[in-house]
Structure 1
Amino acid sequence: MNPTSAGARRSVRTRAVSAAAAVVVTALGAAGLVSCDTGNDDPGGPAFSERPTAPDTAGFSGEPPSSVASSASEVVESARASASSAAASASAREASRAASVGAEIERSRQAAENALKDVQGQGNALGEVAMTGKPRADTGGVLTVVVTITNKTSEEASYAVQVDFLDPSGQVVETQFVGAEDLEPGGRKQPLVISRQPPEPVLTPRLTKAQRY
């Protein structure tokens, strides 16, 4: 075999492979594909076909195949459904928590009202209860009172408190009840009393009764 002729053939094969790889990279944006020939008479390295076929790019539109687009759409819809389900679950949990809190407040209010039904005068715990108003700017204009109940005895006790709201003439237009149950000695609780009356006329809250039981 003529060494010069063999070297020329290898040079031709090398240039052909390089050209084919460049076409594949440009058309597909991926690594060039080559085909191995197990019958190559050159044991010094991998064999390549001398005339690799360039990919047909005439019909390439730049759009993903329909199957890929469909899969992507399914993934997006699945993600949206999961997000919607998570949001609905969080909303349901919050609604359940709010309902539970509301039920506990109503139960405590009812217990305080029942405890004060037969109490004469101002009760036996007026000195253990204080009352302060919250700025209307912090409550959206709603009249809100913080009732501070402190157990000043040496034993566990429960408390019931009555707060009246008076109009400018001194008439009681609304009555609210709050309480604190099983308060440890020295323990303190600060329930809120919120008036349901309109902002006008301006009402004045009054601590009317406080009973320890």
Structure 2
Amino acid sequence: MHRPLGPRSRLPVTAVLCAAATAAVAGCGGGGGGGGSSVRTTPATPHTASFTGTPPSALASAASSAVGSARASASAAASSASARASEFEASVSAETARSAAAAQKELKNVTGGGNARSEVAMKGLPASQTGGVRAVVLTITNKTNQKASYAVQVDFKNPDGQVVETRYVGAENLEPGHSDQPIVFSRSPAEPRLTAVLAKAQRY
């Protein structure tokens, strides 16, 4: 006759099962040092339908598109700069055409540097402000005690000192102590570099 197993008789069985499970887990470990152990599992075949990203051929197409877009942007920027230069030149021409003609006429019979060189200062403008046009701003100040007009000639010289281009500008009916700031610009190419020189300044 079999007697039912009590709690004490079941304990050794449970201990054996636990020990077997522990051994199985330890046997799957990486064998490395440290206090823990890891369990390796066999990776399943990936489900490619769930992947995201761009395949190589599409990447190449995207890169080609980006290059084309960059070239188009560069071309547009160049056209925009050219347009800004034309606009700047046109605005300056519109403001100074009449006074330039009057200044050229006034200076026709002036010999030497004129009587007002000390009343004219010059400063070049950054190309970023003029759309790439070579431009110089003049500051004409009436240092006398009566109203006066001015005619100014600016020469653009190359590195050899030769005059490549001449521009005229004027300021009319300046009150004593007042200043005007007309702009002269060169239509010559960016190279070779030219230097603007105050050639004549006549007060009349």
How much does 1:168 deviate? Answer: 1.1
Q: Structure 2 residue aligned with 1:177, among 161, 168, 172?
A: 168
SS at match of 1:165: strand
SS at match of 1:138: helix
Q: Structure 1 residue aligned with 2:140, among 149, 153, 173?
A: 149
Distance 1:208 1:140, change over 3 A: same
Q: Structure 1 residue aligned with 2:153, among 136, 156, 162?
A: 162
* 2:194 is the counterpart of 1:203: yes
1:1-150 matches, within 5 Å, as 102-150=93-141
| Sequence identity (%) | 64
For residues 52-85 of structure 1, give each alpha carbon's deviation from its aligned partner in whole angstroms, at most 9, with x where no partner exists: xxxxxxxxxxxxxxxxxxxxxxxxxxxxxxxxxx
User: 2 CA distance for matches of 1:195 and 1:109?
Assistant: 14
Ranges of 4+ aligned residues in structure 1 off by more than 4 Å:
99-104
Q: Structure 2 residue aligned with 1:188, among 174, 179, 187?
A: 179
CA-atom RMSD in angstroms: 2.0
How much does 1:100 deviate? Answer: 9.7
SS at match of 2:114: coil
User: 2 CA distance for matches of 1:197 and 1:177?
Assistant: 15
User: 2 CA distance for matches of 1:127 and 1:210?
Assistant: 8
- For structure 2, the 5+ residue unaligned runs are 1-89
Q: TM-score, normalised by structure 2?
A: 0.54
How much does 1:104 deviate? Answer: 5.0
Report if aligned partners of 2:151, 2:203 keep a CA contact under 8 Å in 1.
Answer: yes
Aligned length: 116
Distance 1:162 1:153, change over 3 A: same
Distance 1:135 1:127, change over 3 A: same
How much does 1:102 deviate? Answer: 4.6
Q: TM-score, normalised by structure 1?
A: 0.52
Report if aligned partners of 2:144, 2:177 keep a CA contact under 8 Å in 1.
Answer: yes
User: 1 CA distance for matches of 2:150 and 2:113?
Assistant: 13
For residues 116-151 of structure 1, give each alpha carbon's deviation from its aligned partner in whole angstroms, at most 9, with x where no partner exists: 000010000000000000112222221110000000
Distance 1:156 1:167, change over 3 A: same
Higher RCO structure (Cα 8 Å, ≥6 apart): 2
Partner amino acid for 2:107? L
